[in-house]
Amino acid sequence: MDKNSVYRTNIIGAGEVGSAVSVDMDKNYVHKINSFYWDTKGNDFLGAIVLPLYGAYVSEEKCRLFGDVTGKKMLEIGCGNGQSLQYLGERKASELWAVDISEKQIEKAAQHLNACGLSAKFICTPMEEECGLPVDYFDFVYST
């Protein structure tokens, strides 16, 4: 399939459930729905899993997946309201970057970081789209 096509084939089901079904989906429609959700309902879930937490019982303090981020360039995919960026900024990461599909979440993240005395470079785009991010630039690319 042409990578520039607005339609993507997605496989739904398989394994123990039975046979898989192939469904063509309009990626622009999917992006619109996803963006709308995060613009309107996203805050209902934000804060549940943000750094330093990876879930109910796992944390960055325990696992040390990042280690010392001093001077590191960080890119978060799906930044939400900026709490994970704050965590890394307070640990002296040199650059904070973020991609999110929601303008509202980016606005909230920018406001949150500003209130903490931090800043980031934000790009509003679906995560799978080319958006001008520098290549071979970041020390860590993550999503929480």
Residue 16 has pLDDT above 60, yes or no: no
68: which 2 tokens? 């010392």
Closest CA to 79 of 44, 117, 40, 123: 123
Mean pLDDT of the chain: 82
Q: SS3 of 67, please?
A: coil
End-to-end CA distance of the chain: 30
Lowest-pLDDT range of 50-54, 66-70, 132-136: 50-54
Q: What is the pLDDT of residue 17?
A: 54
Q: What is the pLDDT of residue 58?
A: 85
* Residue 44, φ and ψ in degrees, nearest 5: -65, -25
Domain parsing of the chain, residue ranges: 7-42, 43-142
CATH value of 43-142 in 3.40.50.150, 3.40.30.10, 1.20.120.80, 1.20.1260.10 = 3.40.50.150
Q: What is the pLDDT of residue 133?
A: 94
DSSP 134: P
| Per-residue pLDDT band at 80 (split at 50, 70, 90) | confident
Q: 41: phi > 0 → left, psi -120 to 50 → alpha, else beta; which?
A: alpha
